Amino acid sequence: MTADVSSSRPLVELKGISKRYGDLLANDQIDLVIDRSEIHALLGENGAGKSTLVKILYGVIEPSAGEILWEGKPVTISSPVEARALGIGMVFQHFSLFDELTVAENIAVALSSDWSLARVRARLGDISRAYGLALEPDRAVWTLSAGERQRIEIVRCLLQNPRLLILDEPTSVLTPQEAEHLFVTLDKLAADGCSILYISHKLEEVRRLCRQATILRGGRVVGTLDPRAKSAREIAALMVGTEVGEVRSGLPHQPRGEMLEVRDLSMPAGGLHGQPLHSINLSARAGEVIGIAGVAGNGQSEFFAALSGERTASRPDSIRIAGKNCGTDGIDARRRLGAAFVPEERLGHAAAPTHRLSENTLISHATAEVSRSGFILLDAARRLAQSIVRGFDVRTPESDPQARKLSGGNLQKFVIGREIIRRPKLLVVDQPTWGVDAGAARLIRQALVDLASEGSAVVVISQDLDELFEIADRMAVIHQGHLSPLRNIGEWTKEAVGLEMLGEAQVHGASHAI
Amino acid sequence: MTTFEAILLTIVTASTPLLIAALGELVTERSGVLNLGVEGMMAMGAACSFAAAVTFDSTLLGVGAGILAGTAMATIFALVVLGFAANQVGSGLALTILGLGLSGLIGAPFVGARRNPVEAISIPGLSDLPVIGRLFFEQDLFVYSSILLTIAVAFYLGRTRAGLVVRSIGENHTSAHGLGLPVLRTRFLAILFGGACAGLAGAYLALVYTRFWSPGMTAGRGWIALALVVFAAWRPGWILVGAYIFGAATVLQLHAQAAQFGVPSQLLSAVPYLATILALLLLSLRHGRAIGAPGSLGTPFVPDR
Amino acid sequence: MGRLMRFELTPRASIAPGMRALAPILAFVTSFLIAGIVIWLLGRSPIAAFDVYVIQPLSDPWSIQELLVKATPLALIAIGLSYCFRANLWNIGAEGQYVVGAVLASWLALRTHGTDAGAWVLPAMIVLGILGGMAWGLIPAFLKTRFGVNEILTSLMLVYVAQLLLDYLVRGPWRDPKGFNFPQSVTFDPSATLPTIAEASRVHYGAVFALVAVIVTALVVGRTLFGYRLKLTGDAPRAARFAGFSAKSTTLAVFAISGGLAGLAGISEVAGQIGQLQPSISPGYGFTAITVAFLGRLNPFGILVAALVVALTFIGGESAQILLKLPLDLTQAFQGILLLCVLSADALVSYRIRIVGRGGGK
């Protein structure tokens, strides 16, 4: 892997790449240039189009328009096999590993049949030393940390002599020390002539590693710059945009008693890719909407599970609903206290895909009016489903269809309506309008605001900053399992939120209810 | 030959069919498929091998027929479980029921016939050693083959690339598919191998162990083979050990009954089954989850395209 | 090495409601055709066989009673299994739970044998039968919830242990001293025998239990929260947790029910049909019931029909053996074919299958 001195031509050029999915333009005329030996960052929020672009480059999907030049020559990359043949390697966020097999076996099985275990072992020693990727060939993968597992994925790529290595949010599973270790490795790789495309939303890493960054927003390139030459604020502004949030219409309401109190909540990570929670404090009062902003993967799902009771805390007083301790109670008990929950995943979690809407009402209404002494009142369930359908404009292909027959937006309206119709004292929603069409999204947001103005406390976890600016009264940002202080929405600017999301906050650490 | 030596020899005979069938099921399960049809495949192997051996007066043809029968049954199982992604538990049981019934039909005309013993092959010099001489070095071809098969399977799974692919697919078929490994084709071949082994084990039962066919002669050995695979934590070397333990238990309980120990013979017979449960328990205690089991065992593979 | 043809499965987006009900019927017809071929290969007339297997047993009142007698344990056990299978839990040990239930209940019968015990004995035996099966079924359930051990193997291993226990008891401590050294217990007193439903009938009250179980299960599955809980646990486990249903208590509950019903079948057979304990008190009902459960598509009324159908093949098989010299093994083979066809038909309904040629598309 020696650097090609003679050519000042870039290694790869993406020209005018676009990708359209129906009405949605995931990538819009994107230009990207990566030089040899360069570590190039691809920055942007979720939904900005980073994954799509990278999948195009790795041959997983085809672009709708535009061309790719490899070393100056136009190429079509129609499969990962072709990408690898060109010299493109990719380390995904989710690893394809085999827990019970050893490191050497995991590497060998991913490579072609020329690679015997002996050969893998020999080369592994060389690569480990050269790039600081310490791995013991005979250890079983299930004993390894996330950082070590990632090294396996990296070695899988390196053994195929890549010219370009793509890493997708690589530090999302790493500790700060492991991340630093990774950066050392990447620096060495680049020095040896391998270009790197580094996808991230974390500004500090990007500045540490990269001299060039392309920033995406809404599917478009909004800036190509040297991250070290610009201030954090400027970059944050590019990432999240500088438009002022819309002033929310609706009656200003007086927040009243506290419906939800979270006190010093800490939880260990639930699994390999889980995020531990650290000393979270939060309060939500009746009549207000609390927004929790953050980029995906910073603890939102874990926080939701802790609030809903799907995962119980260690202390009963770490979570109080309507004034009662319930940290160690299950979801059933919390519903009985007047709380309602809407998880992120519609099919499989919020609703059973093959069950009818009437049956799906049972999921959260079991203790209420659709069942009595253990018996299901089928008629009541059907009527309830119908009122939800009517009240929330759910378009159904037939009366009482299976949940999976509804479109995303309609199912989401149903799932949220199912909870709102109970008039809960507290509603916690995770990603209320993700993957939902604009009309349904508007209806859902209005429903949340209306619920609050009628006296409920509403907590909205969302990656959509515009949405939160529209409906929230107070907001906090979650980052790596820590929650920032709550501030009134008027006191937040998009830049400030962006900084929090990127971990560049001025004030960090445990926050307090206001 | 002392009684002790005679007992040891019968242990070898009792353990060999268990060993062969379990090795086949091991490979199948390592690829991620749970085959509950081993008992039926073994029965078919026994019936068909005996029928062929008597009809053509050839043990060799009998063995071939037994292996073919097991493979044919396995093909049906593979079609249903891989091709149609049908429930593996139900399909396996269906094969057992089918195999037991069909074998009865095939073996019926041959009830009462007898075959001559299969010759033992002695290794010159070594077979004269006291005690172990006759035990280890004067056995028939089946027994030697079973040992060789153990070594071959261990080598294949542990040291070849093909074996690595099998183990990967069994461990996590989603990751395997993501890496481009041929999940269905590998499982198909693994199932066929398992069926062939079950058929061979059945052939051994009918041609060597008893030298005649009678209905129900497999007597649950297929289920024991299944238990053996778990007991051995899916490792070939331990299957050899386990097969001989289970075989010894079977033989010893007969003798214990005759010798009138205080312990009821049924308790001795129950030991292998209780031991399996205990082994499963210990395995999962050690790692906090049912370890050793291939990660995707029993889950049908439906690639989402 | 080139790519040979391979199967490609895509889940069907929607399934016409008629197809789901049609599948078992199609499976049945297919298996009949295959069985017909096998019979023809054996040198008999398939038409004559059909007559003996299916028509004749249905046209004779005595054999209809036999039908009910044989279907009873199958239905009882299969109903119990349906609870487990619905929740995606594989209880393969019903045969063992049947035996332990019978053993525990028989203990009371033997204890009170010869004494003029009274009317409380039989009901107590029934309770013991249920409890025995329940306890035996809870062992694999407990191992699964507490230690994560696979329930298929543990429940299966316990079948052998149960059978060996029975063997030990009837050959040893419980052997009838006046029984000419046969391995069997004393014949149960009338107070410990399950009566028949009518004077001249062969059908004992076990059939009533089965019918009650069918109706209760239909109610539970269709109308209770518990039934819904099972369905949800099997269909969408994450949603089940979201609904507040604990997977652990679901597991324990369904194994308890399944074991209990198997135990009930055990004591019903022993106290109603056999009248004493023997080394073999079941021709594999616990395993055949698995077939019945699948055939009936886990629906209580479907299971009722399936139990009758399978019982029919047993009875038809017995007369075919006498009249047509067709061995009983054929019945068993037919059951295997039938189950395979049902499972395949089920899969074909849920997935669309394409056979992709060489180098098929991505």
Query: Model confidence over B25-65: pLDDT tens digits?
Result: 999 999 999 999 999 999 999 999 999 999 998 888 999 99
Find out whether C137 and C91 touch, Cβ atoms under 8 Å.
yes
CA atoms of C94 and B25, how far apart (whole Å): 24
Q: What angle do CA A498, A499, A505 make, to 5 degrees?
A: 145
Would you state the pLDDT for residue B255? 74
Say yes or no: C226 contacts chain A, CB-CB below 8 A: yes
Q: Which residue has better confidence, B111 or B240? A: B240
Query: What is the span of the domain harbouring residue B47?
Result: 3-112+136-287
**C235 vs A343, A352, A364: nearest CB:** A352
pLDDT category of residue B132 using cuts at 50, 70 and 90: low
**B83 vs C7, C287, C332: nearest CB:** C7
Say yes or no: C42 contacts chain B, CB-CB below 8 A: yes
Say yes or no: A96 contacts chain B, CB-CB below 8 A: yes
**Pairs of residues, one from chain B and one from chain C, whose beta carbons lie less than 8 Å apart:** 168
Residue of B nearest to C140 (CA): B277
Would you state the pLDDT for residue A171? 79
Residue of B nearest to A81 (CA): B180
CA atoms of B241 and B261, how far apart (whole Å): 25
Residues 6+ apart with CB under 8 A from A54: A42, A90, A166, A168, A197, A199
DSSP code for C24: H
Q: Please report whether residue B298 resides in a domain.
A: no
Q: What angle do CA C299, C303, C308 make, to 5 degrees?
A: 160
Distance from CA of B89 to the nearest CA of C (A): 8
Q: Which of C219, C225, C230, C245 to mutate to test the interface with A (most CBs of A within 10 A)?
A: C225
pLDDT category of residue C3 using cuts at 50, 70 and 90: very low
Domains of chain A: 12-240 (3.40.50.300), 258-501 (3.40.50.300)
Q: Nearest Cα to A239, choosing from A206, A272, A266?
A: A206
Would you state the pLDDT for residue B292? 58
Task: Count CA atoms within 13 Å of residue A510 on its CB side.
Answer: 10
Distance from CA of A117 to the nearest CA of B (A): 8
CA distances from C245 to A331, B267, B289, C73, C241 (A): 9, 40, 22, 31, 5
**Does the beta-carbon distance from B85 to C143 stay under 8 Å?**
no
Say yes or no: A109 contacts chain B, CB-CB below 8 A: yes
Looking at residue C42, its amino acid is: L
Q: What is the pLDDT of residues B78-131, one digit of tens each?
A: 999 998 888 898 899 899 999 999 999 899 888 888 877 777 776 666 666 666
Residues 6+ apart with CB under 8 A from A287: A253, A254, A255, A256, A452, A453, A455, A456, A457
Say yes or no: A367 contacts chain B, CB-CB below 8 A: no
Say yes or no: B178 contacts chain A, CB-CB below 8 A: yes
Residues 6+ apart with CB under 8 A from A431: A300, A344, A461, A462, A463
Average pLDDT taken over every residue of chain C? 86
Q: What angle do CA C293, C296, C298 make, to 5 degrees?
A: 60
Q: Nearest Cα to A462, choosing from A44, A46, A24?
A: A46
Would you state the pLDDT for residue B303? 60
**Does the beta-carbon distance from B161 to A113 stay under 8 Å?**
yes
Say yes or no: A330 contacts chain C, CB-CB below 8 A: yes
Residues of B numbered 255-294 whose beta carbons fall under 8 angstroms of chain A's beta carbons: which are they? 291-292, 294
Q: Please report whether residue B276 resides in a domain.
A: yes
Would you state the pLDDT for residue C6? 55
**Pairs of residues, one from chain A and one from chain C, whose beta carbons lie less than 8 Å apart:** 64
Residue of B nearest to A95 (CA): B175
Q: Please report whether residue B126 resides in a domain.
A: no
Torsion of CA C98, C101, C106, C107, to 10 degrees: 140
Domain count, chain B: 1
Task: Count CA atoms within 13 Å of residue C145 on its CB side.
Answer: 15
**Does the beta-carbon distance from C239 to A308 stay under 8 Å?**
no
**Does the beta-carbon distance from B167 to A98 stay under 8 Å?**
yes
DSSP code for B190: H
**C236 vs A353, A362, A375: nearest CB:** A353
Q: Which of C3, C147, C167, C356 to mutate to test the interface with B (most CBs of B within 10 A)?
A: C147
Q: What is the pLDDT of residues C247-266, one digit of tens each?
A: 999 999 999 999 999 999 99
DSSP code for C224: B
**Does the beta-carbon distance from A363 to C232 stay under 8 Å?**
yes
Say yes or no: C351 contacts chain B, CB-CB below 8 A: yes
Looking at residue A402, its amino acid is: Q
Would you state the pLDDT for residue C11? 62
Query: CATH number, domain at B96?
Result: 1.10.3470
Say yes or no: A101 contacts chain B, CB-CB below 8 A: yes
Q: What is the CA radius of gyration of chain B?
A: 19
Counting as contact any 3 or more CB pairs under 8 A, the partners of B are: A, C
Q: Nearest Cα to B187, choosing from B33, B7, B5?
A: B33
Q: Which residue has better confidence, B173 or C43? A: B173
Find out whether A260 and A321 touch, Cβ atoms under 8 Å.
yes
**C340 vs B85, B94, B289: nearest CB:** B94
- In chain C, count H helices and then E strands: 14, 2
pTM metric for this prediction: 0.81
Say yes or no: A350 contacts chain C, CB-CB below 8 A: yes
Distance from CA of A239 to the nearest CA of B (A): 32
Say yes or no: A210 contacts chain B, CB-CB below 8 A: no
Q: Please, what are the averages of pLDDT over each run of 10 residues along chain A (514 residues)?
A: 58 90 83 92 81 89 91 89 90 86 93 86 88 88 83 92 91 73 90 92 83 89 90 78 49 74 89 79 93 84 93 91 91 92 92 93 79 84 92 88 87 94 94 80 90 93 86 91 90 81 56 35
Residue of A nearest to B170 (CA): A98
CA atoms of C304 and C285, how far apart (whole Å): 15
Tokens (6 digits) for C333: 């083979």
Say yes or no: C319 contacts chain A, CB-CB below 8 A: no
Say yes or no: C32 contacts chain B, CB-CB below 8 A: no
